Chain A
């Protein structure tokens, strides 16, 4: 517990404290004087506001895409597949997690490139690759975090007794009615649990957007640039608190759905 306190919360506290300091523009040294200057900059400068909204929007979009993709897969795994196929599918879902993050991001860079497979498949239909930008970022992030959505939803659905589905059918509910009125509500806490992963991971990401995002920037890039290139650690810390605050709000909302018991 002490370790958790020091190593984990301590780092967070240090982050918060740093964000309240400021940096000397000439010498680049950190001045340990309490100020809210960093947060004022963050909220008043147009570009940072845009990036904040954009980051939240992309994280939300990635989450929605993952829910839509993960739900049928998880439902199939939990309720349709044979036990043997079920095990194989769990391994298949986990497999991408064994590969390096960078490899996967670069794989998508290749996929989305102007002469890549997507352009090649889409060209007969008069379409092209979306190219590098926010769409590519969303696709890549959605791919990267998909297992983190599938697994909790699968685990959540597996716990639902088959008799509930049978009861719905027995009472006159067709497949869609059963999914809408029984399966989705029963899976909802698990979906929220999965969305905590996809949302928070997307909020903090800066590598994928660097690789496939073109000129688009997310909060993570601002943190990265300010802590490395600009060497403005206090401002980077202030930017980094934004995802934390958003996530705290999200977690508080998630708690009310009972999703946290599903993690």
Chain B
């Protein structure tokens, strides 16, 4: 598959702050690519550099085969969906959508036809003559999307476009965005700080931290094989076992993470091979509707979070377990090593 965007040695410094620090990145054609990270991690800056709103301190940006590093935004074949939508308030929905075609001197009939088409793609037929202030947040978001899509750019850049929507609408739009992306086949580069959003929609995700990529992987890989404690903590929740606790519980040196839903609460330590267990006391039980989360303080020291689906009536039993002694058990191959001082002893070896 050919490359839509290549970034080589890209840096952007604001004074002493290294917003983006020597970044290399390849985004494939037709991919739904997400840049995930906390605020200030540099993900939005990378997007703005690709769009051309910022000039890099160093490095190159290639769009397909072309070097666009020094080109202004209007000379790059990418379009942006802005966080605040940036709908022109003095224009109708149609004028907004036609704007890109109008400045590129596309004929009126063609313009009209493509605008209708784009509005249909985002399910806003019949809204062409509305004014922006007559639209809801979700509808404005769709107008912004149509206004970008109508230009059929090589790459569509989306800067936290769902951030301002309420949860219900956001979930709907996540699925819809993915569908639209599949339909139009344009490369989407999506910036978000919402890990669930990234996991739902993306083909691949780059997790950003302090101007660098911590890990670049598919959603499944990212969740099941986080490369660092940062990724494990940022993408989903996780239990970190390291140092003495790792030695006591696992019998090996190093740092390991395990997801809460991979842990189980039982009354007696299991004997089957490949399972590890540790006794502890339940400190807190949190009922979350679909699942219940228990916080267990292990005798070995660390506190772990255990999550299980509320598939039966065991919730009452779970709630009663507060302050009770339990045994936490997990499969050895569910442990993820974050690199250990002695790789040979890593339990990852068994599962590889």
Interface flag for A177 (CB, 8 Å): yes
Interface flag for B73 (CB, 8 Å): yes
Interface flag for B53 (CB, 8 Å): yes
Which of B79, B88, B151 gathers the greatest number of chain A CB atoms within 10 Å? B88
- Residues of chain A contacted by B147 (CB below 8 angstroms): 167, 171
Interface residues of A in 152-178 (CB under 8 A from B): 161, 163-164, 166-174, 177
Interface residues of B in 45-80 (CB under 8 A from A): 51-53, 72-74, 78-80
Interface flag for B288 (CB, 8 Å): no
Interface flag for A249 (CB, 8 Å): no
A185 to B80, CA, bound (A): 22
Contact B86 A173 (CB under 8 A): no
Interface residues of B in 65-114 (CB under 8 A from A): 72-74, 78-80, 82-84, 86, 88-90, 99-100, 103-104
The one of A167, A174, A185, A186 in contact with B82, judged by C-beta atoms closer than 8 angstroms, is A167
A174 to B78, CA, bound (A): 15
Chain B minimum-CB-distance residue to A166: B53
- Residues of chain A contacted by B103 (CB below 8 angstroms): 168, 171-174, 177, 181
Contact A164 B73 (CB under 8 A): no
A173 to B52, CA, bound (A): 13
The one of A161, A177, A182, A186 in contact with B84, judged by C-beta atoms closer than 8 angstroms, is A161
The smallest beta-carbon distance between A18 and chain B, in angstroms, is 44
Contact B100 A172 (CB under 8 A): yes
Which of A166, A171, A172, A174 gathers the greatest number of chain B CB atoms within 10 Å? A171
Interface residues of A in 119-173 (CB under 8 A from B): 161, 163-164, 166-173
> In the complex where A163-B82, A177-B103, A181-B103 touch, is A170 in contact with B74 (Cβ < 8 A)?
yes
Total contacting residues, chain B, CB less than 8 A: 23
Contact A174 B74 (CB under 8 A): yes
Contact B80 A170 (CB under 8 A): yes
A169 to B78, CA, bound (A): 11
A164 to B83, CA, bound (A): 11
The one of A172, A173, A185 in contact with B90, judged by C-beta atoms closer than 8 angstroms, is A185
Contact B74 A169 (CB under 8 A): yes
A174 to B75, CA, bound (A): 9
> In the complex where A163-B82, A167-B80 touch, is A173 in contact with B88 (Cβ < 8 A)?
no
Contact A171 B84 (CB under 8 A): no
Total contacting residues, chain A, CB less than 8 A: 17
Contact B86 A167 (CB under 8 A): yes
The smallest beta-carbon distance between A60 and chain B, in angstroms, is 24
Which of A161, A164, A172 gathers the greatest number of chain B CB atoms within 10 Å? A172
Contact A186 B90 (CB under 8 A): yes
- Residues of chain A contacted by B72 (CB below 8 angstroms): 169, 174
A168 to B148, CA, bound (A): 11
The smallest beta-carbon distance between A156 and chain B, in angstroms, is 12
Interface string of B18-33 (1 = CB under 8 A from A): 0000000000000000
Contact B74 A166 (CB under 8 A): no
A207 to B78, CA, bound (A): 58
A152 to B290, CA, bound (A): 56
Contact A173 B74 (CB under 8 A): yes
The one of A161, A166, A181, A182 in contact with B73, judged by C-beta atoms closer than 8 angstroms, is A166
The smallest beta-carbon distance between B132 and chain A, in angstroms, is 11
Chain A minimum-CB-distance residue to B83: A163
- Residues of chain A contacted by B53 (CB below 8 angstroms): 166, 169-170
- Residues of chain B contacted by A173 (CB below 8 angstroms): 74, 99, 103
- Residues of chain B contacted by A182 (CB below 8 angstroms): 88
A166 to B147, CA, bound (A): 14
A166 to B54, CA, bound (A): 11
Contact B74 A163 (CB under 8 A): no
Interface string of A60-87 (1 = CB under 8 A from B): 0000000000000000000000000000
Interface string of A188-205 (1 = CB under 8 A from B): 000000000000000000
A181 to B151, CA, bound (A): 18
A-B contact pairs, 20 of them (CB 8 A): A161-B86, A163-B82, A166-B73, A166-B80, A167-B88, A169-B53, A169-B72, A170-B51, A170-B73, A170-B148, A171-B74, A171-B103, A172-B74, A172-B104, A172-B151, A173-B99, A174-B103, A177-B103, A181-B103, A182-B88
Q: Knowing that A161-B86, A168-B88, A172-B151 are A-B contacts, what are 17 other residue pairs whose CB atoms are under 8 Å apart, sorted by A's residue number?
A: A163-B84, A163-B86, A166-B53, A166-B80, A166-B82, A167-B88, A168-B103, A169-B72, A169-B73, A170-B53, A170-B148, A171-B79, A171-B99, A171-B147, A174-B72, A174-B103, A186-B90
